[in-house]
């Protein structure tokens, strides 16, 4: 799956509606619950942000575990539910999970490749109360799409997108953008218009998991990005009333980090297929985390009291240049996982920031990829390639330290 963006809008009307702001007395709530139901997937996208160790289906949470997690999360204030993976349609109990989520008052989002969706299933999900379906595409061109997905999936995706609209769901198309499809921005947006997408997420690749191991293969050039962004803005201006277009900022090129998860343990809670609860779905490789499991702990304890969710909460963990930086309330120091993966220190500034002492590693990666005369072959995301991806010098985590990060 792609690294999900999160849009949390607060009302900002002038006369009739006060602007809502965080108040220090307000407790933090996991407004967004990401349920990664399985890491199994019929697709093999080399930009997948799932962890390199994909895990066994036998260790996945049972239906009852998920239903309990949903109830506990709702009590904590969770309201948006992302049903993701891997491919969530591989779970035969998806309709049961959706039904319970809807009954509890969640807004239910299914994030799918489309593979495994047929007429009976999409109708059953509607009956269960599913609110929205996000369909991923790799490209507008069938051959490119299928090559990137490692699977003959394009025709099926088009069929599913039409079914989504025919059943009256709001539809988001998600396209992860990189070197191999950025030059097709215009064609991709034309496809989205033709499929009557309500929203398009142009998700510039985030380099975690499989994407990091394939970084040289995926990183675009600055010129490519600028051209593609100009096209996206042109379409926003021309078709914004029909289709909302989100261009997810490519943090390697911006000089500023993304506000990852809107801050650690602030609004986002992810539960991995095996029940591990994480403040960010890429956090499993950070050193020193206890990785609490929903089988062993209540979600309330995990969210409020577990060491993991408190490690990088607030600002007390920040070092220079984050501590005292006047932008720290905007970016929250960026991404802890990216800081660790690229600097070896999870409490360092995100190196995507030009103020980071390690910003060179980002600039060098961009420069190196732009200068490559021949691109490496992608390591496709599948179980056969796990060992190969883990051996990859860029993709593998710096090595799990046994000592805790800090107290």
Partner 1 sequence: MSTVDPDACYGIAPGHRMQWEEVQQSWVILYPEGMVQLNDSAAEALRRCDGRTPLSSVITDLEAAFDEADLSADVLELIDAALQQGWVCLR
Among 56, 59, 105, 155, binds partner 1 (CB under 8 A): 105
What is residue 146's three-state secondary structure? helix
From the CB of 165, what's the least distance to partner 1, in Å? 11
Which residue from 190, 178, 321, 167 is spatially nearest to 256, judged by alpha carbons?
321
Contact 43, 85 (CB under 8 A): no
DSSP character for 5?
P
Distance (Å, whole) CA 45 – CA 58: 23
| Residues of span 241-260 touching partner 1 by CB under 8 A | 244
Site string for partner 1, 196-235 (x = CB under 8 A): --xx------------------------------------
Among 20, 194, 357, 372, binds partner 1 (CB under 8 A): 20
- Distances, alpha carbon 17 to alpha carbons 10, 12, 13, 14, 20, in Å: 10, 7, 5, 6, 9
Judged by beta carbon, residue 15 or residue 120, the one nearer partner 1 is 15
- Residue range at the interface with partner 1 (CB under 8 A); choices 101-109, 270-278, 316-324, 343-351: 101-109
User: The tokens of 66 are what?
Assistant: 């998920």
From the CB of 373, what's the least distance to partner 1, in Å? 40
From the CB of 221, what's the least distance to partner 1, in Å? 30
- Residue range at the interface with partner 1 (CB under 8 A); choices 76-84, 93-101, 305-313, 394-402: 76-84
From the CB of 17, what's the least distance to partner 1, in Å? 4
Which residue from 321, 323, 395 is spatially nearest to 358, judged by alpha carbons?
321
101-115: buried (b, 16+ CB within 10 Å) or exposed (e) per residue?
bbebebebbbbbbbb
Verify binding: residue 134, partner 1, rule CB under 8 A. yes
| Residues of span 275-334 touching partner 1 by CB under 8 A | none
Verify binding: residue 154, partner 1, rule CB under 8 A. no
Verify binding: residue 18, partner 1, rule CB under 8 A. yes
Judged by beta carbon, residue 82 or residue 220, the one nearer partner 1 is 82
Contact 343, 290 (CB under 8 A): no
- Residue range at the interface with partner 1 (CB under 8 A); choices 71-79, 274-282, 378-386, 391-399: 71-79
| DSSP letter for each residue of 273-339 | TTSBEESSTTGGGSTT----BTTTS-HHHHHHT-HHHHHTSSSTT--TTTTT-TTHHHHTTS-HHHH
Judged by beta carbon, residue 80 or residue 181, the one nearer partner 1 is 80
Which distant-in-sequence residues (6+ apart) come within 8 Å of 115 by Cβ? Answer: 42, 43, 87, 89, 151, 153, 156
Among 57, 65, 68, 77, binds partner 1 (CB under 8 A): 77
Among 59, 75, 233, 383, binds partner 1 (CB under 8 A): 75
Among 45, 90, 172, 362, binds partner 1 (CB under 8 A): 172
- Binding site residues, partner 1, CB under 8 A: 4-11, 13-18, 20, 29, 31, 75-77, 79-80, 82, 105, 107, 109, 131-132, 134, 168-170, 172, 198-199, 244
């Amino acid at each position: 799956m792609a690294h999900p963006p999160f849009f949390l809008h607060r009302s900002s009307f002038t006369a009739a509606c006060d602007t809502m702001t965080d108040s220090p007395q307000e407790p933090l709530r996991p407004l967004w619950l990401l349920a990664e139901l399985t890491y199994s997937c019929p697709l093999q996208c080399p930009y997948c942000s799932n962890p390199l160790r994909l895990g066994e289906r036998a260790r996945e949470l049972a239906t009852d575990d998920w239903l309990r997690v949903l109830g506990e999360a709702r009590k904590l204030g969770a309201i948006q539910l992302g049903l993701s993976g891997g491919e969530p349609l591989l779970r035969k109990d998806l309709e049961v999970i959706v039904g319970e989520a809807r009954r509890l008052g969640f807004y239910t989002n299914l994030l799918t490749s489309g593979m495994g969706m047929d007429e009976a299933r999409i109708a059953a999900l509607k009956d269960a109360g599913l609110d929205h379906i996000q369909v991923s595409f790799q490209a507008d061109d069938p051959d490119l799409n299928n090559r990137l997905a490692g699977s003959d999936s394009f025709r099926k995706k088009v069929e599913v997108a039409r079914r989504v609209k025919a059943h009256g769901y709001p539809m988001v198309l998600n396209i992860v953008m990189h070197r191999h499809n950025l030059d097709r921005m215009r064609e991709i947006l034309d496809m989205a218009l033709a499929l009557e997408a309500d929203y398009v997420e142009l998700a510039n690749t985030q380099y975690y998991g499989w994407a990091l191991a394939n970084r040289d293969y995926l990183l675009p050039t600055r010129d490519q990005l600028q051209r593609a962004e100009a096209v996206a803005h042109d379409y926003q201006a021309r078709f914004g009333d029909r289709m909302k277009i989100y261009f997810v900022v490519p943090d390697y090129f911006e000089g500023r980090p993304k506000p990852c998860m809107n801050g650690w343990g602030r609004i986002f809670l992810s539960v991995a297929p095996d029940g591990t609860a994480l403040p960010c779905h890429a956090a499993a490789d950070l050193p020193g985390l206890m990785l609490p499991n929903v089988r062993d702990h209540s979600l309330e304890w995990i969210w409020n009291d577990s060491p993991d969710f408190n490690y990088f909460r607030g600002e007390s963990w920040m070092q220079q240049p984050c501590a005292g930086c006047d932008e720290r309330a905007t970016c929250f120091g960026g991404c802890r996982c990216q800081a660790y993966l690229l600097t070896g220190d999870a409490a360092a500034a995100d190196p995507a920031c030009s103020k980071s002492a390690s910003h060179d590693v980002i600039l060098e990666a961009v420069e190196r990829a732009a200068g490559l005369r021949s691109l490496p072959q992608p390591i496709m995301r599948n179980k056969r390639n796990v060992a190969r991806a883990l051996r990859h010098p860029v993709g593998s985590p710096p090595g799990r330290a046994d000592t805790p990060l800090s107290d």
